[in-house]
Amino acid sequence: MNNKSIAAPDKIDITKDSDFEVRVLNTVCVNESRQQHPWWHNLKYLVAGMLFGIVLVKSEMISWYRMQEMFRLQRFHMYGIMGTAVLTGIVSVWLIKRFNIKTIYGEKIEFHPRKFNKGQLYGGLLFGLGWGMTGACPGPIFAQIGTGAVAAIVILASAVAGTWVYGLVRDRLPH
């Protein structure tokens, strides 16, 4: 990749994936595949995202009202979704491990244990405060924009700004 024009302050070779250990701590969505494919192979993730986007809207998970009802214990809907989603995920992961199911490219599916750090406490609380206010977590923000809610672009821009400021002050925060 042609990223050499960006000067890394402490001479990390960013052309290699040496950042992996750092990333495991900081970002949940880890790209485990070592396969190299042309860009259009990513279109299958576009289709997967579309399925997720349709579910987010049709189940009204993008609604500010549904989130407020969840935090006020007025409706079971969101708890039902989270509960059955996690249950489905647990069973799926168990099946993948139990039967050593491979990816469609024949790669072994890998899991990495997540390490605890204080960010999960402080960051989690800050995230929750924002979630309770806007009723939007990152997935639904993209879905809200898709439904034509122009104001959600402001939420996305603010969330990107928040991410950027975190990157800026990261070394000074307790982890």
Partner 1 sequence: MSAFIHGPWPWYVAGPLVGLMVPLLLLLGNKHFGISANMRHLCAACFPANIRFFQYNWKKEAWNLFFAAGILLGAFVAAYLIANPAPVEVHEKLAAEVATYGITDKNLLPKEIFSLESLLTPRGLIMLTAGGFLVGFGSRYAGGCTSGHAIMGLSTLQWPSLVATIMFMAGGFLMANLVLPFILQLS
Q: How far is the CB of 75 from partner 1 (least distance, A)?
A: 6
CA-to-CA separations, 29 to 9, 134, 142, in angstroms, rounded: 25, 23, 16
Least distance between partner 1 and beta carbon 4 (Å): 11
CA–CA distance, 147 with 145 (Å, rounded to integer): 5
What residues contact residue 25 under an 8 Å CB cut-off, 6+ apart?
115, 117, 175
Whole-number minimum distance, CB 57 to partner 1, in Å? 4
CB of 98 to partner 1, least distance (A): 13
**Is the four-CA dihedral 54, 58, 59, 63 of positive or negative sign?**
positive
